[in-house]
A and B are shown apart, each in its own frame.
Chain A
Amino acid sequence: MSDSSPARPPASARPHAPARAAALIARAEHAIKGPVWGCQMCGQCVLHSTGLTCPMNCPKTLRNGPCGGVRANGHCEVKPEMRCVWLKAYERSERMPGWRGHIDDLRPPVDNRLKGTSAWVNLITGRDRQLPAGWAAGADVEP
């Protein structure tokens, strides 16, 4: 075999430069947003409208919470030791200067294909605002 690095896949099988860059950005994004907000890399970030509280940490992964199961002490129905993610989101959103009130927006269903991709890239490309045609045609839906 003439190639000095036999483990290296052929060029045709290697991701193109933009894809490699996107993967790199996704890793950087997770390195920052993971420790700070517990980011789950849904790829369609809504932190600005949830008081910088990641809704994907809700055990039901609700985009429009809180559910009706919140305990009287404000803790989660599913994880009694944890404070309700959406209770925190509500409280923090009230203190958000720019996006106050955005918590009331109806956030659309998650696009599960974006899991693991960079929300930063998806924001720039507009990919995170691509909604199913039926949903997009509906009224009162915040992109």
Chain B
Amino acid sequence: MSNLERKLAAGEFVVTAELPVIDGGGQGEILRQLAPMRPFVDAFNATDNPSAHAHCSPLAVAIGLIQAGVEPVMQLACRDRNRLALEADLLGAAMHGIENICCLTGDDVTAGDEPETRRVFDIDGPQLIALARVLEGGRYLSGRSITPPPHYLIGAVENPGAPPYEYRVRRAAQKALAGARFLQLQICYHPELLERFMRVASDTGLSERLALIPSICILRTVGGMRFVATQVPGIDVPPETVARVENAGDAEVECFEIAYELACHALAQPGVAGLHFISFRRDAGIAKLCTRLGIPPRLERETNGYSASVAV
């Protein structure tokens, strides 16, 4: 059982973070990227060609994270692999002790820098969750047996900030039914939409059945804010938020303030099991934000306790 699984089961507050993409530099680059945020984070996402841009594969990076002594969450997107390849990567992950997986449909190839690519989408995100459950049951999709069967902490994503807003919690429930145990929620610059999602999830009891982990993005520059606002599928940034950064004396300070405000708001919602951080800063932005939010480092949380409101 992974540490993340144990913590979620015990209702302990979790901190996950996106490891910045790895291109060159090998294991040393993983260590360098980990260093500033390592003390605060329970598990690091090894991303799968985010925004349809090619980088080191999530399986390779997840293995690198284990070798670095930290726990990975291996993302798998349906955009680039058919079901055979997804099964192979899931089994390959299990072979290396990678249990935390995050199942995504994936941004379309047109969001990336190689839009001429053939998109796959042989199966979709909810089906990928169910496929991981099938493997856990000791069978490939074909029915061929796997002995001993792998074990996963199956996670997925959901976007509270994309229409149809009133359907998003039902889609999250569909993923829970398929086998998801946690959801990392997409970055949401509309606090009222996250609030609505968390309230409905809480009212319907969903947040007791799976751990809901809102994402907080720490940007650095006006360009970064404009990129997220215009280029990242499914993320809508209010014009006044973009203007706030554009008109600020120090864009980096303003970006940090926005992240802090959104994080405070997210923490105040019912049923929040933890936070997921995404930082485009090349410094200790995540550590700084955790400190300001009063979230203790991992070891301190494990020693003295720091509980979320729900156990899953």
Q: Quick one: which of A62, A104, A133 contacts B105, CB cutoff 8 A? A: A62
Q: Nearest residue in B to A68 (C-beta to C-beta)?
A: B159
Please name all residues of chain A whose beta carbon is closer than 8 Å to the beta carbon of B157 when the two chains form the complex. 68
Please name all residues of chain B whose beta carbon is closer than 8 Å to the beta carbon of A135 when the two chains form the complex. 130-131, 134, 141
Q: Nearest residue in B to A93 (C-beta to C-beta)?
A: B167
Taking residues whose C-beta sits less than 8 angstroms from the other chain, chain B's interface range is 35 or more
Please name all residues of chain B whose beta carbon is closer than 8 Å to the beta carbon of A133 when the two chains form the complex. 139, 142-143
Q: Is the CB of A78 within 8 A of B174?
A: no
Please name all residues of chain A whose beta carbon is closer than 8 Å to the beta carbon of B236 when the two chains form the complex. 71-72
Please name all residues of chain B whose beta carbon is closer than 8 Å to the beta carbon of A108 when the two chains form the complex. 127
Q: Is the CB of A68 within 8 A of B134?
A: no
B9-17, B58-66, B116-124, B300-308: which lies at the A interface? B116-124
Residue from A65, A68, A74, A141 whose CB has the most chain B CB atoms within 10 Å: A68
Q: How far is the CB of A26 from chain B (nearest CB, A)?
A: 23
Question: Given contacts A63-B124, A84-B163, are A106 and B143 in contact (CB under 8 A)?
Answer: no
Q: Is the CB of A60 within 8 A of B130?
A: no
Please name all residues of chain B whose beta carbon is closer than 8 Å to the beta carbon of A87 when the two chains form the complex. 163-164
Taking residues whose C-beta sits less than 8 angstroms from the other chain, chain A's interface range is 35 or more
Please name all residues of chain A whose beta carbon is closer than 8 Å to the beta carbon of B174 when the two chains form the complex. 64, 104, 106
- Asked whether any CB of chain A lies closer than 8 Å to the CB of B234, the reply is yes
Q: Is the CB of B234 within 8 A of A70?
A: yes
- Asked whether any CB of chain A lies closer than 8 Å to the CB of B151, the reply is no
Q: How far is the CB of B50 from chain A (nearest CB, A)?
A: 13
Please name all residues of chain B whose beta carbon is closer than 8 Å to the beta carbon of A67 when the two chains form the complex. 105, 124-125, 234
Q: Nearest residue in A to B179 (C-beta to C-beta)?
A: A140
**Residues of B with Cβ closer than 8 Å to A?**
79, 83, 105, 107-108, 110-111, 119, 121-127, 130-131, 133-134, 137, 139-144, 157-159, 162-164, 167, 170-171, 173-174, 177-179, 186, 233-234, 236
Task: Provide a sorted-by-A list of 28 A–B residue pairs whose CB atoms are within 8 angstroms.
Answer: A59-B119, A60-B121, A61-B121, A62-B105, A62-B124, A63-B124, A65-B124, A67-B105, A67-B125, A68-B234, A69-B162, A70-B159, A70-B162, A71-B163, A72-B162, A77-B107, A77-B111, A77-B233, A109-B123, A132-B141, A134-B134, A134-B142, A135-B134, A137-B137, A137-B139, A138-B130, A139-B133, A140-B177
